[in-house]
Structure 1
Amino acid sequence: MANFGVDTIFNIQNRKEFESLALKTFKFQYEHNTIYQTFCNHLNRSPKNVKGIIEIPFLPIQFFKSKQIVTATESPEIIFESSGTTGSSTSKHYVLDLNIYEKSYLKGFQHFYGPIEDYCILALLPSYLERQGSSLIYMADDMIKKSKHPASGFYLNNLKELKTTIEKLERSGTKTLLIGVSFALLDLIEQYRFTLKHAIIMETGGMKGRRKEIIRNELHTILKKGFGVNMIHSEYGMTELLSQAYSKGDGVFQCPPWMSVFTRDTENPLEILGVEKTGGINVIDLANINSCSFIATQDLGKTYKDDSFEVLGRFDHSDIRGCNLMAI
């Protein structure tokens, strides 16, 4: 384990503390993650010559498809696996300590929304429920249990029951979080219309092959009208990360204190861009202490001065341009 306690990660108070801990994490993972060390050596980067966080190498996310990305030799408590189209390879995240994941999503949610016990949690995640190994299902299931509300639960194809539950919660003035995959939320409002004042509607993105992909603004406009709300919230997470960023509207995301997003040049993946410039999204997630905290994703986006960010789409090709020359 790293030479700092896990609680240190979740008690970061400011940017200076984040950057200091990120550099310590880089040193730890360079020394204990052989895949990451080989990758860093390939780029001539090591704790000896990395002095700031933008100099830290970001591991291309597709390494999670072909390598076991871990910083220790213990057996994992759980293996989270991404969804994949037929015949495609999937990412696997070998999680050595589920307690870290649980702390991350619970403290992250509380940071933005307050205590989980204040909410009734309704999860409309059919594409995730239909397969094994989803980190989102693990998180939603635990949040449902910790909410302790009798109406909290998963909904698969029982949309009529979900409609009845939402309306009952609305009449009683109960704070409600409906978290759902985009196509399922659209399915719901095509059958039923709502006018909600006490509910947060949170989309997790993706049509999962069930519907034609549409741009976020169009999706949110349709959902706002269907649910009768002013804003659609969003969750940004993935199998390879143990933390989530949240948007309270307009697709602008904020990270919890132990997570940060940068953008990289699409032609030169080692170059970190300034704010308001479109590039590939790089994530530092310090909760990934036992795998790799420095991930170059396949998403395109831009960052802003207040450390918020937007997700603008995905790279056209499955391999991020420029990463082939960094392959091990």
Structure 2
Amino acid sequence: MEVERVQYIASNLSKGSETIPSEYIRSEKEQPAITTLHGVMLEVPVIDMRSDGDEENLVRLISEASTEWGIFQVVNHGIPTDVISKLQDVGKQFFELPQEEKEVIAKPAGGSKSIEGYGTTLQKDAEGKKGWVDHLFHILWPPSSVNYRFWPENPPSYREANEEYCSRLRGVSDRLFKYLSLGLGLEENAFKESVGGEELIYLMKINYYPPCPRPDVVLGVPPHTDASSLTILVPNEIQGLQVFKDDYWYDVKYIPNALIVHIGDQIEIVSNGKYKSVLHRTTVNKEKTRMSWPVFLEPPPEKEIGPNRKLVDEEDNGAKYKTKKYKDYIYCKLNKLPQ
């Protein structure tokens, strides 16, 4: 095994030991025990997607949540509970496979630009720290972009469960794009077309956060905003998502069977800053494994994205973001270059 997986590290810790590799221990300015506002569970907006004939109110609620929070949860979204359960079951089964079986679909070594495959955080952050997480990336949609080389063959039902979930999720995302557009007075297809239309890429990521003896000093994923247009995710039952709001980090209260929606950087750009990309991070649990299934709705690499001209007010500093290809935006973000 060329890369030491976090799951392997966690399973080989001595029983009762609280000693973990130093590269996972955060500085005090990032440690959850110090930086979390404890005892307060943040209740982000929960939106019922059954319009009951009042679509105007649904548009208003989603627009307000995207403006003030950058994150919200949707219920009655139309994806059956059993479809989500099957997605979670096959993902859990994959990570419970023997290590050598998971390594069969590991990310290619040696400079590959693709992020697809099984892996661990390979790049340390600015402080040289790593996240307490393993993951699996693969594209769900469109079919022309799917590479089944990175889809687990075991469990056998993995493909069926993921394709069924994606089929349902595409309907939900179309509605979200529509409501986001209408919320700013645009044509209903404005946002979706701005970030790729039917060429929009659905990128699945499964996060696997093993139990950690020192959850007070590590992070699963460090603070970040998503480069995507939207991110739509489901977690398992273990708390871990945190959002930065009003100068504090808060645990986010998860509603069972809800989808958590993150506004990503590209929606903030297209909206000219009216909708906000949410700053978030993840924590881990001392005794239980946390998992999450985010799907990133990403523009095609060559897609040029900038503020919608109807949302640019020349009297209010004009366009707040430069128009650039998505691949160039990603390059700048990964290398911490000015946008």
Work out whether the TM-score is over 0.5. no
What TM-score, normalized to structure 2? 0.27
Select the structure with the greater relative contact order (CA < 8 A; seq sep ≥ 6): 2
What TM-score, normalized to structure 1? 0.27
